[in-house]
């Protein structure tokens, strides 16, 4: 009798209805190796991953700290240490790649949102100023790199997002940042990067400035969502949220398996770059969902968080490790890239369950 009742109860619970406390507990468990094992105090970066991925890891942990008082102290200590130590790798968080710079600018904007530390916002302001030097390719928009070899979606999405974010956080220079954000958005929408399926291809062909139909990576569907949300806040134009929702909906239709689990085409052999991508989409979908909620977004976030936990997790000593194929089975190696990317999904689920 009791067993039958329990069974009926379990069946009655639809997929993805873990409570906020469960999602938060899972996120804390998954964050632990990033907080206490892989973070390198002397470099201010995460061992087992690269420069721009470390900025994404910092951002994900920041998003956890924003909803979890238990994580606040350790994440704030990481912000402070990384702000001092990481510039030993690339001075002032500047290097030869405008996308790398954009990730760090967003990372410091996020750190400022959490701590209110003015130095962090100033770092983002200074990085953005350097990025403006990349504007003006033969196809418009900003270059991927200071050597001017490619025009890619991600550098332009990041530039747009940083500009719009600063417009909302630097009231005295609002017009300056808003102007950059609007120029960047106008360029993006006319660039041809969004294809007939409604998703964003990776780059433009420099010779023709046309979209050659290169890979549709998940992160190119992500940063643009946060950019539109910040711009909608800055210029009070709801049309940006509609544009963002359209890309999000097309991504959920086009980049998923039959169970709505997100995939990039490189799986199960993604490199240290591509293995980071999916988390970027989840982080920004969560931002969009908070601004313009849709049941389909919440369901998608929960399904991915649930699948990561159920199918893509191993225990190694005291650590819980997450791989880069979210549908499972767990495929090694797990490292700061795979862990922080999957953590984005867990944090998103915890955040929207609040
Ligand atoms: C930590 O970073 C330093 C560089 O600052 C490096 O020499 C060292 O090997 C790193 N530690 C590990 C365990 O990778
Ligand atoms: C991609 O998304 C668009 C927009 O939602 C949809 O019309 C199309 O059918 C999707 N394509 C695939 C292959 O799922
Ligand atoms: C981290 O994981 C990715 C995805 O499996 C892999 O390509 C990369 O080589 C790994 N890096 C390290 C240092 O283990």
* Interval 316-328: pLDDT, tens: 999 999 999 999 9
| C-alpha of residue 291 to centroid of ligand 1, in Å | 40
What lines the ligand 3 site, CB under 6 Å?
Answer: 48, 270-272, 275, 324, 333, 335, 337-338
CB of residue 48 inside a 6 A radius of ligand 1: no
- Asked which of 13-27, 75-89, 252-266, 295-309 is least confident by mean pLDDT, the reply is 13-27
The β-bridge partners of 97 are: 145
- Asked which of 1-10, 45-54, 209-218 is least confident by mean pLDDT, the reply is 1-10
Atom of ligand 1 nearest to the CA of 40: 1
Task: Give CA–CA dist 336/161, Å, rounded.
Answer: 24
At residue 17, the pLDDT reads 59
**Averaged confidence pLDDT in the chain:** 95
Give the chain's largest Cα–Cα span.
73
CB of residue 246 inside a 6 A radius of ligand 2: no
Evaluate whether 184 touches 236 at the Cβ level (below 8 Å). Answer: no
| C-alpha of residue 45 to centroid of ligand 1, in Å | 9
| C-alpha of residue 310 to centroid of ligand 2, in Å | 27
Mean pLDDT of all residues in 333-345? 98
Q: Which ligand is nearest to the Cα of residue 260, counting in written order?
A: 2
Mean pLDDT of all residues in 117-137? 98
The β-bridge partners of 46 are: 39
Closest CA to 162 of 116, 122, 107, 106: 106
Mean pLDDT of all residues in 288-294? 98
Task: Give CA–CA dist 15/170, Å, rounded.
Answer: 42
Atom of ligand 1 nearest to the CA of 48: 14
At residue 18, the pLDDT reads 74
Mean pLDDT of all residues in 84-93? 98
How much is the pTM? Answer: 0.94
For each of the domains in the chain, give its residue range(s) and CATH number, in order of start: 2-352 (1.50.10.20)
Given pLDDT bands bounded at 50, 70 and 90, which one contains residue 134? very high
| C-alpha of residue 272 to centroid of ligand 3, in Å | 5
pLDDT at 1 over 70: no
Atom of ligand 1 nearest to the CA of 47: 14
Mean pLDDT of all residues in 60-82? 98
Evaluate whether 105 touches 111 at the Cβ level (below 8 Å). Answer: no
Query: Atom 11 in ligand 2: which residue has the minimum CA distance?
Result: 254
Given pLDDT bands bounded at 50, 70 and 90, which one contains residue 7? very low
CB of residue 88 inside a 6 A radius of ligand 2: no
Of the two residues 291 and 14, the one the predictor is more confident about is 291
pLDDT above 70 coverage of the chain, percent: 95
Q: Checking DSSP bridges between strand 151-152 and strand 45-46, what pairing results, if any?
A: unpaired
At residue 11, the pLDDT reads 39
CB of residue 47 inside a 6 A radius of ligand 1: yes
Evaluate whether 107 touches 53 at the Cβ level (below 8 Å). Answer: no
Cβ neighbours around 256 below 10 Å, total: 18
CB of residue 253 inside a 6 A radius of ligand 2: yes
pLDDT at 15 over 60: no
| C-alpha of residue 77 to centroid of ligand 3, in Å | 26
Given pLDDT bands bounded at 50, 70 and 90, which one contains residue 193? very high
At residue 171, the pLDDT reads 98
Given pLDDT bands bounded at 50, 70 and 90, which one contains residue 177? very high
């Amino acid at each position: 009798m009791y067993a039958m009742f329990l069974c009926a109860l379990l069946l009655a619970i639809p997929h993805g209805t873990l409570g906020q406390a469960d999602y938060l507990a899972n996120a804390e468990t998954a964050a632990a190796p990033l907080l206490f094992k892989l973070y390198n105090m002397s470099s201010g970066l995460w061992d087992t991953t690269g420069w721009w991925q470390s900025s994404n890891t910092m951002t994900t942990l920041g998003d956890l700290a924003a909803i979890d008082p238990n994580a606040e102290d350790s994440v704030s200590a990481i912000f402070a240490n990384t702000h001092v130590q990481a510039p030993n790798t690339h001075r002032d968080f500047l290097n030869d790649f405008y996308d790398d710079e954009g990730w760090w600018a967003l990372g410091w904007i996020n750190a400022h949102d959490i701590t209110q530390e003015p130095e962090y916002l100033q770092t983002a302001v200074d990085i953005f100023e350097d990025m403006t030097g990349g504007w003006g390719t033969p196809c418009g928009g900003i270059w991927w790199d200071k050597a001017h070899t490619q025009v890619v979606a991600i550098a332009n999405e990041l530039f747009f997002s940083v500009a719009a974010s600063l417009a909302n956080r630097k009231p005295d220079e609002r017009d300056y940042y808003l102007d950059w954000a609007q120029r960047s958005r106008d360029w993006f929408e006319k660039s041809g990067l969004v294809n007939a399926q409604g998703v964003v291809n990776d780059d433009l062909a420099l010779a023709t400035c046309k979209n050659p139909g290169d890979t549709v990576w998940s992160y190119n569907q992500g940063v643009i969502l946060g950019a539109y949300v910040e711009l909608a806040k800055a210029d009070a134009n709801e049309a940006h949220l509609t544009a963002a929702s359209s890309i999000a909906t097309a991504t959920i239709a086009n980049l998923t398996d039959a169970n709505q689990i997100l995939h990039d085409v490189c799986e199960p052999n993604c490199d240290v770059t591509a293995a980071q991508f999916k988390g970027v989409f989840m982080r920004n979908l969560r931002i969009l969902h908070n601004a313009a909620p849709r049941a389909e977004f919440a369901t998608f976030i929960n399904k991915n968080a649930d699948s990561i936990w159920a199918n893509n997790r191993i225990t190694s000593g005291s650590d819980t490790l997450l791989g880069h194929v979210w549908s499972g089975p767990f495929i090694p190696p797990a490292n700061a890239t795979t862990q922080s990317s999957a953590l984005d999904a867990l944090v998103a689920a915890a955040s929207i369950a609040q």
